[in-house]
Amino acid sequence: MPIVPFCIILSLMLPFFSLSQSIDHWEAAVLAEEEWRYRIGNSEPPSDWNQSDFDDSSWNTGFGGFGYSDGDDNTLLPTTLSVYLRKEFEITDTALISAVTLYADYDDAFVAYLNGVEIARANIGTPGVAPAHNETSYTDHEAQLYQGGLPELFTISPQQLADLWTNGTNTLSVQVHNVGIGSSDMSALFFLMVGISDDSNDYQEVPAWFPEPFVSSDLPLLLINTYGIPIPDEPKIDAHLGIIDNGPGVLNFLTDDYNGYDGSIAIEIRGSSSQSFAKKNYSFETRLENGENNNVPLLGMPEENDWVLHGPYSDKSLMRNVLSYHIGNQMDQYAPRTRWCEVLINNEYKGLYVLVEKIKRDDNRVDIARLTPNDVSGDELTGGYIFSVDRDDDGPQSGWYSPFTDFLFYKYQDPDFDELQPEQKDYLQTYVTIYEEAMQILPTAETYEHFIDVPSWIDYWIATEIFKHVDNFKFSFYMYKRKESNGGKIYFGPLWDINLGYGNFDFAKDPGPQGWSYEWVNSGVLRPFWVLDLSEDPEIQNKVHCRWQELRQGALHTDSLLSFIDSTAAYIENAQIRNFERWPVLGTYVWPNAYVGDTYEEEVSFLKDWLVERLQWMDDNMFGDCSLVAGEKEPNPFRVNVYPNPFQNELNVQLRGNYPGKAQLRLLDARGHLVAEEDLTSQQTAQVFSLSSLGAGLYFYQINIEDRVIASGKLVKQ
């Protein structure tokens, strides 16, 4: 048969467990500490060195591990870039073997072969191509056993092995490579374990560290194969994704066909502070073989190509984000959909994850107009933007700093900064800056209702206060803007990244369930000043009170939210056990835990107790008066009419009231440049201004009295 690399076989998803055979127990066919044949890689070995019939009698013999400077070396090697290992072993009856796993503890890379055929590799080269003797690994990789960790697991299919091994003598061959000739250490320990279907005992006992391998789950399985290449922070690398999802109530075995997705992806590590955690978060795109986007539905969510794999780590309830997005959706605001799953990367079990929709413009996500590179004028320029208050971790070119709040950074999200045209960047920055300027001078309903969608602010504010998230309004504070023809206002949301909510932080602020978190705006320089203005505006507070009462009687009733937490904990009951076996953080402080429970049940109880107290505190302290929402507003002593809108060549401006000083009309273009300035008089009839010299497009007007803006708004010239 032709020689086919194991990783390529895996990408074709041949089954690798016999469902008709259960595993009675595990034994070791090969132990690292046994005697092996080895050869220092100071030159290329014969091309058939990894074949079972190769004559290795001239090679050295030694007991594993092989290497230097790690304290795990039974056979000390000289400083080298590579070493070649061979180990013969006996198989009594292949029919009794239900599962096969290779455990590799290595520094820094390896390729393993069974009877000459590649079965696993990591951190080096192209699958199916044997690395040269002087080839180096991609990156450093530290061995784990000598420091109390576990070796990496690589699962091998008995069905695949049917044509590769035989009853009797077989050969496991491994080439191990260093990151460089100057590397301070090298390690090579390899174990071949077999799952036996009956009570026979033909092999050796497994080591004390051996954990029973992961085989099946009641959650969907995501299997990612990067062909041995480490996943970087950026850019995304090509990989293969297979999803096994047999539906509710049916176990998903690693042997099953890929029935949820079977194709190409591009993947990278994501996150900021979470990148310091051992368990990583990932973002990936589903792609066609030619690299183009591949919009597909995953785990029942609407089709798209951008996804996030969220791996809860410091959040030991595992569900703070899932609960938060559930609350957002219960308020009839879009929040990312989520699905629980378990993830394996290059056959290594990575734990319990949440597949999440990435925030972007889409009919089934943030439903706003799609901004194209050609949309640089008129109504087309005015909408289709998603942006956020966030870090400038992609550089200052990825957004802009507010001129009104120290270090406050607005970040372009979708389209990204490298996709936006200069006119589009200028327009969004100008719009937000004029909004900030107006709010700084006159923070009243007459101002903010020109620029923002008040109902979306109310829902976002309520959700944020429920979470009492330490980074609220500071990081991952998302907003989007619609076109002028669709209202033209800023909307707030979607919610994103709530791991440090619900009392799960121990720095800067009080994590307890009492107190308003919006008041933190006063004590920091990274939050917009206008958050405080909106939060304390009497009209908004009255509307918040009404909305809060409505939500508490229905979707956000305490019993409803506790039921969601309980049902979620029950759904992931088995998977959370495996997750914490893989990542043993229960009972251990992980930054920035304010509470550390010894068990998962204690972590969930803390979340529930905190939420109950928080909801009750908000009930008892909610400001505003719902009965005043429908009441009459106090009359504005300064009344301004600016019309028509849209206008063609002439603009009418009418002032009413006794103005205490000189009034002035200021007109700015979409980039914030002053294009017209006219004096105004207080009179009953409108003043008419000819603006035929202005080009078609969006403009902003301000009515000023001395240094005070008494009115502002948007105009469209046709």
C-alpha–C-alpha distance, residues 495 and 508, integer Å: 22
C-alpha–C-alpha distance, residues 68 and 300, integer Å: 50
pLDDT at 278: 92
**CA 590 from centroid of its chain's CA atoms:** 19
Burial (CB < 10 A; 0-12, 13-18, 19+), residue 422, is exposed
C-alpha–C-alpha distance, residues 131 and 175, integer Å: 9
pLDDT at 560: 95
DSSP, collapsed to helix, strand or coil, labels residue 424 as helix
133 and 42 in contact (C-beta within 8 Å)?
yes
**CA 56 from centroid of its chain's CA atoms:** 49
Residue 549: which of 626, 444, 437 has the closest Cα?
Answer: 626
**Helix, strand, coil in percent for the chain, rounding step 5:** 20, 30, 50
For the full predicted model, state whether its pTM sits above 0.85.
no
pLDDT at 682: 64
pLDDT at 523: 67
User: What's the CATH number for 6-213?
Assistant: 2.60.120.260
C-alpha–C-alpha distance, residues 543 and 536, integer Å: 12
C-alpha–C-alpha distance, residues 608 and 285, integer Å: 35
418 and 234 in contact (C-beta within 8 Å)?
no
Strands (E), 575-644: 639-643
369 and 381 in contact (C-beta within 8 Å)?
no
- In the predicted model, residues of the chain with pLDDT beneath 70 are 1-21, 157-160, 523-524, 630-639, 656-661, 670-672, 682-684, 706-707
pLDDT at 671: 67
For residue 5, say if its preceding peptide bond is cis, omega within 30 degrees of 0.
Answer: no
Burial (CB < 10 A; 0-12, 13-18, 19+), residue 633, is exposed
In this structure, the strands spanning 66-67 and 75-76 are parallel
User: What's the CATH number for 639-717?
Assistant: 2.60.40.3080
pLDDT at 400: 97
C-alpha–C-alpha distance, residues 628 and 83, integer Å: 80
pLDDT at 5: 32
What tokens does 413 get?
């999200």
Residue whose tokens read 């009956």: 198
Q: Which residues contact 348 (CB under 8 A, 6 or more apart)?
A: 152, 153, 154
pLDDT tens by residue, 139-164? 999 999 999 988 988 877 666 677 88
Q: Which residues contact 55 (CB under 8 A, 6 or more apart)?
A: none
Q: How many CB atoms lie within 10 A of CB 78?
A: 9
What tokens does 223 get?
């299997």
C-alpha–C-alpha distance, residues 285 and 291, integer Å: 10
C-alpha–C-alpha distance, residues 516 and 523, integer Å: 13
Q: b vs e for 189-204, b when ≥16 Cβ sit within 10 Å of the residue's Cβ?
A: bbbbbbbbbeeeeebe
pLDDT at 710: 74
pLDDT tens by residue, 52-96? 999 999 999 999 999 999 889 999 999 999 999 999 999 999 999
